[in-house]
Homo-oligomer: A and B are copies of this chain.
Amino acid sequence: MRRVAVIGVGVTKFGKHDRTSAELFAEAAGEAIRDADVTPSAIQALYYGNVTGGEGEKQLHMGPLAATLLGIPTIPTTRFENACATSHAAFRHAVMEIGAGVSDIVMVGGAERVLNIPTDAATEYFAYCSDASWEQSVGLTFPGVFALIARAHMDKHGTTEEQMAHVAVKNHRHGALNPKAQFQKAITVDMVLNSAYVADPLKLLDCCPFTDGGAALVLAAEEVARKRPRSVWVLGTQAASDTMFMHEKRDLSRVMATERAARAVYRQAGKTPVDVDVVELHDCFTIAEIVATEGLGFFEPGFGGAAAEKGWTGLGGKIPVNPSGGLKAKGHPIGATGAGQIAEITTQLRGEAGPRQVEGARTGLTHTLGGNTATVLVSLFGRG
């Protein structure tokens, strides 16, 4: 398979917008096209991610809509939906298109608009990503899913609510350095611990927000990318799944799909966790970051909470996690999240992340989780 690189990235401000998701994507795509220094007509295919557009915007079939708004309405387009991992999945398939030699330059991205609808409706639509027969019917929305995971991790490893709070504090500290983040204000451990319970043991400030936003990437084959000094190479990209049913998962303190995808991507790239300099991972809830840092191999099982408390995952720490602010502070426009993470890692590996730059970062990892932990994608990126 041919080598593939990211040659351009674009991200809207994350937060509340009064535009359609397709318009948000178009803004991000325009930025990515300028960043890549290509003409729009050079783009040969569009990989588009969106999750709840049917429910929230009465809009399916968004691929050609997005391409039409970009002024390139004749290219092949596909919409992807893999719950919150949607645009990371789109990215992996785009890498295969270039790898197979079908196209040389491809755009990948996604967008979501949910802040135009009531919070209870958004919560219901997000819950469609869990099983309709066994889980939605008993009211198991995502705070409940991750509360089960948190409780299992606390029971098995002694992880504390304070440790989880440290994840939120760290990601808000990072978000304050990111002008595109939804929340750019620091918070304290006490603020997290004193916020209202949403699903015990998770409190309001353990949870990422609902977010509008778009993100876009321009990918290119080696022949195109090697002429561009700011290219960031895809060293590996892998997906894995797990049973859709929470009641079939044997150990809720682990996310098996993360572990599977991580093993596969390290093998593909010839890397190990110690080679990774910077990480954007799926912190939809604080416990999700703790479990992911373990599943990705940065810490032994049960040590993720302590690592967060000790500051090992902050900027300047052993392994900086979510320098962008993560889903927690940067925001979580679900269809755009995976592409947004890749945009951040690209920016970091280029050394262009300004005050949130991880100094000397040469290898980066992105991790995106879908739904009730049934889908995970993990990718590795490098310079040169």
On A, residues with C-beta under 8 Å from B are 1, 20, 51-52, 54-55, 57-61, 63-65, 67-68, 73-83, 89, 92-93, 96-97, 99-102, 125, 127-133, 136, 238-245, 248, 256-257, 260, 370-371, 374-375
Contacts and interface: CB of A to CB of B under 8 A. Distances in A.
Contacts of A99: 100, 102
A82 B64 CA distance: 9
B64 A241 contact: yes
A241 B128 contact: no
A60 B53 CA distance: 11
A124 B362 CA distance: 50
B74 A240 contact: yes
A79 B205 CA distance: 31
Given A68-B243, A74-B240, A80-B79, A61 B130 contact: yes
Contacts of A260: 74
Contacts of A241: 63-64, 67, 73-77
A64 B97 contact: no
A79 B74 CA distance: 23
Contacts of A77: 82, 239, 241, 375
A244 B75 CA distance: 12
Nearest to A241: B64
Nearest to A78: B89
A139 to B, nearest CB: 13
Contacts of A248: 68, 73
Q: Which 9 A-B pairs have the closest CB atoms?
A: A76-B239, A64-B374, A100-B100, A61-B83, A61-B129, A60-B128, A73-B243, A68-B244, A65-B244
A12 B241 CA distance: 26
A15 to B, nearest CB: 22
Contact of A128 (B58, B64, B240, B245): B58
Given A54-B125, A67-B241, A125-B54, A81 B100 contact: no
A131 B257 CA distance: 36
Contact of A76 (B55, B129, B240): B240
A101 B61 CA distance: 29
A370 B77 CA distance: 11
